[in-house]
Structure 1
Amino acid sequence: MDPPECQGHSHDHDHTDDLGLSLRQYMDIPRVICLNEVVPGSGREILKYHEDRLSSTPSLQSPSDDPELLLTIPFTEAVTVQSICICTTATSTNRTAAPRKIRLFTNREDLDFDMMHDDLPPQQILELLPPHHVEGGTIDYPCRPAGRFQNISSLSIYVETNYNSNDDDEDEENGGTEITYIGLKGKGTKAKRMIVEAVYEAQGMPEDHKVPGDELANHNIM
């Protein structure tokens, strides 16, 4: 599958807030969890401030034989996420690669890889552009449909494949995924986290309120 073109993406070579302000101040960093990280705590360290987005260190890496990562970011208050930016400086020298296909989930802090492999429906699926397309800059990917990312208490990012992955050769070693920066843009709502969780519990899980045809809407590939 060829990478998508630039439609719908904001090239952030210069600092812009067209897709919202940085949500770094609302991230509950001590409670961030990353599964399959080689260095414990490295998932938290790539949630850098915007001005450090092009820094190559520190970085988050998965094992050399496994491209998957699962990062869950809780927020200190309800937020609306309008866009996501993921950067990497991975090179062939260390056999790591940039993430390619990711899935986004909201309000789920209980996720694990078994759930991912069972095809739990995400709020959005994104295929990221290859690194050479954004060399020297960054791209903000809009979160759509927008309503699924409003007033949320957490965002989970599942990296399914990377640009070392070869869909035609299952026996070939893929190499690990490397990420140097994840940034979110949007806005805070000033609603405290406990209120968001209470509303979420009252509404129940998404699968308890299925709408005909929504299965297709859950797979919004850009």
Structure 2
Amino acid sequence: MSGHGDGHGHGHSHDCGGHGHNGTEDVPDSERIAQYSLYAKIDLERVQCLNEVVDGSGKTVFKPWDQRLQKEEFVESDADEELLFNIPFTGVVKLKGVIIIGGQDDSHPSRMKLFKNKPNMSFDDVGMDAEQEFELFPDPQGMLEYSTKVARFNNVEHLSIYFPANFGNDSTLVYYIGLRGDFMEARRHEVTICAYETRANIADHKTNIMDGVGHIVK
């Protein structure tokens, strides 16, 4: 996969995890808001962000696309420049694109690795092969989309995002992570079981029902 090296700023339109990034300037805001609505399908109570300075601050970067420029809430890395997000969804997702708005003054993430369906990842796990890696570029307006290889991101129930480095700052800042894709509700198996039990109960009481009818006729 491309995007493994440390060099930045050369030929970047051809070196973002094999797909490149797409500008969003020509897409109407209303359409972009609808496309980047997967934040509402994240199980926020179970989101984990490792190495965050303020506990729970990692959850705040998942918000509507039209609020992406708000700077009041953000996540900052603590001990070093690494950040690792574990993101469970409330159903099944086909992930198509990611937007990242990071900090200025070289605190913007410079690389990103995406992992599929590996809940509770820790920094001990980030050396494994990712589904896709990207070289990132400063994007203060949130106008660059990093397109995924969609065939690798079908049936995503849990997404892990790892930022291993930034552009030279001691800590990494992230204001916004936007996720674009399709969502499908989780299947519920208990409905079938309940229907079977209902039919069984009716059969069990069939004799009693007939007795009651006979009594009324008399």
* Cα displacement (A) at 1:21: 4.5
Structure 2 residue corresponding to 1:81, chosen from 95, 98, 103? 95
Q: What TM-score do you get using the length of structure 2 for normalisation?
A: 0.73
Equivalent residue number for residue 9 of structure 1? 21
TM-score, normalised to structure 1, is: 0.71
| Structure 1 gap segments, 5+ residues each | 165-173, 195-222
2:145 corresponding residue in structure 1: 140
> How far apart are 1:19 and its partner, in Å?
10
Cα gap change, 1:78 to 1:39, in 2 (>3 Å): same
Secondary structure at the counterpart of residue 124 of structure 2? helix
Between the aligned partners of 1:180 and 1:110, the Cα distance in structure 2 is 22
Larger Rg: 2
Counterpart contact for 2:36–2:65, Cα < 8 Å: no
Instruction: Assess, with a 3 A threshold, how the Cα gap between structure 1 residues 193 and 124 changes in structure 2: closer, same or farther.
Output: farther
- Going from structure 1 to structure 2, the CA distance change for 1:10 and 1:19 (only over 3 Å counts) comes to farther
Amino acid corresponding to residue 38 of structure 1 in structure 2: V
Q: Would the alpha carbon gap of residues 18 and 183 (structure 1) be closer, same or farther in structure 2, given more than 3 Å must change?
A: closer
Deviation larger for 42-51 or 134-143:
134-143
In the alignment, which residue of structure 2 is the partner of 1:150? 154
Distance 1:35 1:186 in 2: 25
The structure that is helix-richer by fraction is 2
Structure 1 189/99 Cα, relative in aligned 2: closer, same or farther at 3 Å? same
Calculate the aligned-residue CA RMSD, in Å: 2.3
Bigger relative CO (Cα 8 Å, ≥ 6 apart)? 1
Helix, strand or coil: the match of 2:45? helix
SS in structure 1 of the partner of residue 184 of structure 2: strand
1:10: Cα distance to partner? 2.2
Q: Output the CA distance in 2 between the equivalents of 1:97 and 1:147.
A: 32
**Structure 2: distance between partners of 1:91 and 1:5:** 19
Conservation of the 8 A alpha-carbon contact between 1:105 and 1:122: yes
Which residue number in structure 2 is paired with residue 127 of structure 1?
135
Query: How many residues end up aligned between the 2 structures?
Result: 174
